[in-house]
Amino acid sequence: MGIEVGGIFGLLILIANIYAIIKVVQSGAGTGSKVLWVVLILVLPIMGLILWFLFGPKSASGESRV
């Protein structure tokens, strides 16, 4: 099997980060806040994802992320 465990983990982090960025853009937060969250997620992929999940803006429709 040519795919390593690190490659699969990296792919999962990439998918989770894309999901988080989409949810940030769809949220009701202000533009500056959205830009800050997207930059944080891009610069610190794992830590940014964890911080977004714990403290990030809620979705525009008020539904839960879980």
pTM: predicted TM-score of the whole model, two decimal places: 0.76
Residue 66 has pLDDT above 50, yes or no: no
* Residue with more model confidence, 65 or 11: 11
Domain segments of the chain as ranges: 29-57
- Can you spell out the DSSP letters for the chain? ----HHHHHHHHHHHHHHHHHHHHHHBSS-HHHHHHHHHHHHHSHHHHHHHHHHHSPPBTT-----
For residue range 14-62, list pLDDT tens digits in order. Answer: 999 999 999 999 988 889 999 999 999 999 989 999 998 898 887 655 5
For 27, phi and psi rounded to 5 degrees?
-75, 170
Strand partners, 59: 27
